[in-house]
Amino acid sequence: MEHEPILTMEKISKSFPGVVALSDVDFRVYPKEIVALVGENGAGKSTLIKILTGVYRKDSGRILMYGQEIEPRSPNEAFALGLTVIHQEFNLVPQMMVFENVFLGREMRKAGTTGNVFYALNKEQMRAETQRLLTQLGANFGPDAVVKDLGVAQQQLVEIAKALSLDARIIVMDEPTATLPQSDVEALFQVVRRLRDQGVSVVFITHRLEEVFEITERIVVLRDGKNAGELRTSEATMDKVIALMVGRTLDQMFPKQQVEIGEVVLSVRNLTRGKLVRNVSFDLRRGEILGFAGLVGAGRTETVRALFGIDPKDSGEILLKGRPVDLSSPRESVSSGVGLVPEDRKRQGLVLGMNVVENVSLATLDRLTRLLVVNSRAERAIAERFVDQLRIRTPSIRQLVKYLSGGNQQKVVLAKWLAVNPDVLILDEPTRGIDVGAKAEIHALMCEFAREGMGVILISSELPELMGMCDRILVMSKGTITGEFVRSEFDQEKIMARAVVNVK
């Protein structure tokens, strides 16, 4: 790492109306290295990368690659320069097959044909090359699989294969492990290391600091749009990195407190839907935080979707506060006092074109209505209360939520469900893709909810989170509950063992 950097971003600044996103930021990438770019949501990581890859135009500063100044004005120009990004949101055409997506825009032609657009496609070669990449990544699907039939984790592998096939010099990975099950994460790391050895540098953006320590050599920290520090991974500690990210030390990651656990508020008996929810039964008590552990595809999300009425149930009984209820639609669930914070906040939790107030009141408008009129003053008061209580960072409550960062968007979704004041609150991956500071805040809030007597169900793919927050953990595998652990019995290996029970 004493070499010259391949990439130098110097004194980069960028502003949007009302917001300074980046201010004099420096960022370098050296040859053959894996470097982490970390920071809270809103720190500027995405903006920096978007400037690098031509999505945004910088206001000032320089970008140099191999010593030459560059000005990528579009993603295609960036690709040509050897810069690729694998985003959190995929750029795949769901109706097409894997190999078609991998070679989208660069389709191979059959030998002997000419023309720019009207040539014969060399499908065999594209398939073969795609298969090679998929094997390298340890994928369990082939080049002919249709993307929309693949799970999120698998689709991500397609994105990675696409980037690999572009022969990049620098690959930026934006939260690549957010949706990958543990076994695939290991495979990904191996691929990343191999890429590094072959001369490709990787920029790793992640909120999972444990991963930073496992795979990266250098850590660059951004805070509030500025450089906050840079460390060799070997010399860094988790606390040091968090302190740089947040500007203060965090006392506790998982502030679990002792809460009195009351009577049973929710009883589920033999809930069944298709193959992913099979005879699921459990109880939930007031004040309890019940965790659902399992691999991606184990049926946890499907279970709560069936419970909440999003998908129709094949069979099963649900009792709320002792009384049988028929939660056949989200509307019924909400009016019965059940709330669900969904997995995908942008697609399922928010109306991005509406502002904070409108999103917060979305589930409780009927309560805010008198004689057919919405009480806007009450609505605003509630929104302001939650912005305050949840520390939602927004210039005003009339800000459209599409302009908020991921963590703040998630807080708006939480506020919406808090306004409902449910007896049971289900949270599906609530802290996915959220920075350390906001994460701790959301954890503290979960403890609040429990303390106020709510029964809380937490689905998470992060075992440390589950073990830190929950009173009890249920493990699911292929649609059935395969294990139950109370807090005193929590053990990472034992829980994982239950999670792979039905998997060959």
Angle of the 238-246 helix axis to the 436-451 helix axis, nearest 10: 90
Q: Contact between 142 and another protein (CB under 8 A)?
A: no
Residue 400: CB minimum distance to another protein, A: 8
Measured from the CB atom, the residue of 331 and 494 that comes closer to another protein is 331
**Residue 331 lies near another protein (rule: CB under 8 A):** yes
Considering only 291, 337, 342, 430, the residue that binds another protein (CB under 8 A) is: 342
Residue 396 contacts another protein per CB under 8 A? yes
Candidates 11-19, 213-221, 385-393, 468-476: pick the segment binding another protein (CB under 8 A).
11-19
Closest distance of CB 59 from another protein, Å: 11
> Is residue 373 part of the contact set for another protein (CB under 8 A)?
yes
Tell whether residue 347 is a contact of another protein (CB under 8 A): yes
- The reply to whether 369 sits near another protein by the rule CB under 8 A is yes
- Smallest CA-to-CA distance from 410 within 341, 357, 355, 470 is with 341
- Of 111 and 372, nearer to another protein (C-beta) is 372
Q: In what order do the strands lie in the sheet with 264-273?
A: 277-285, 264-273, 315-320, 323-325
**Least separation in angstroms between CB 372 and another protein:** 5
CA 428 to chain centre: 11
**Cβ 359 to another protein shortest distance, Å:** 9
Q: How far apart are CA 219 and CA 233, in angstroms?
A: 6
Alpha-carbon span 436 to 150, nearest angstrom: 30
Q: How far is the CB of 500 from another protein (least distance, A)?
A: 31
Query: Measured from the CB of residue 296, what is the shortest distance to another protein in angstroms?
Result: 21
What DSSP string describes 333-353?
HHHHTEEEE-S-IIIII--TT
Question: Helix 152-165 and helix 182-197: axis angle, to 10°?
Answer: 10
Using CB under 8 A, pick the residue from 46, 53, 130, 333 that binds another protein. 333
Q: How near is the Cβ of 331 to another protein at its closest, in Å?
A: 5
Residue 264 vs 310, nearer CB to another protein: 310
Q: Contacting another protein (CB under 8 A), which of 223, 256, 411, 416?
A: 416
The distance of closest approach from Cβ of residue 124 to another protein in the complex, given in angstroms and rounded to an integer, is 38
For helices 436-451 and 406-420, give the axis angle rounded to 10 degrees.
10
**444 interacts with another protein by CB under 8 A:** no
Task: Determine the size of the site formed for another protein (CB under 8 A).
Answer: 36
377 lines the binding site for another protein (CB under 8 A) = no
Best CA proximity match to 6, nearest among 77, 56, 89, 70? 70
Applying CB under 8 A, among 362, 470, 473, 495 the residue interacting with another protein is 362
In degrees, rounded to 5, the angle at the alpha carbon of residue 497 between the alpha carbons of residues 492 and 502 is: 145
Q: If DSSP codes are grouped into helix, strand and coil, which group holds residue 2?
A: coil
The kind and range of the H/E element at 7 are: strand 7-16
In the complex, the smallest distance separating the C-beta of residue 395 from another protein, rounded to whole angstroms, is: 5
Q: Is 349 in the site for another protein (CB under 8 A)?
A: yes
The span from the first CA to the last CA of the chain, in angstroms, equals 43
Alpha carbon distances (Å) from 239 to 89, 210, 242, 244, 245:
30, 11, 5, 9, 10
CB half-sphere exposure, 368, CA atoms < 13 A: 21
DSSP state, 491?
-
Considering only 86-94, 371-379, 437-445, 474-482, which stretch makes contact with another protein by CB under 8 A?
A: 371-379
For the bound state, the minimum distance from the C-beta of residue 86 to another protein, rounded and expressed in Å, comes to: 25
Taking Cα atoms as reference points, which of 296, 346, 274, 342 lies closest to residue 154?
A: 296
Number of residues that this document lists for the chain: 504
148 binds another protein (CB under 8 A): no
**Taking the complex as a whole, how short is the minimal distance between the CB of residue 343 and another protein, in angstroms?**
10
Nearest-angstrom CA–CA distance, 46 and 55: 10
Interaction of residue 503 with another protein, rule CB under 8 A: no
Residue 193 binds another protein, judged by CB under 8 A: no
Q: How far is the CB of 345 from another protein (least distance, A)?
A: 9
Strands in 82-217 per DSSP E = 83-86, 170-174, 201-205
Residues 299, 301, 305, 307: is their CA dihedral positive or negative?
positive
Contact 184, 157 (CB under 8 A): yes
Are the CB atoms for 198 and 124 separated by under 8 Å?
no
Residues forming a β-bridge with 356: none
Site string for another protein, 295-324 (x = CB under 8 A): ---------------x--------------
Residue 334 makes contact with another protein by CB under 8 A: yes
User: Please, which residue, 163 or 413, has the CB nearer to another protein?
Assistant: 413
Q: Is 75 a residue that touches another protein (CB under 8 A)? A: no
Residues that bind another protein (CB under 8 A): 16-18, 310, 330-331, 333-335, 340, 342, 347-354, 358, 361-363, 365-366, 368-369, 372-374, 395-396, 398-399, 416, 420
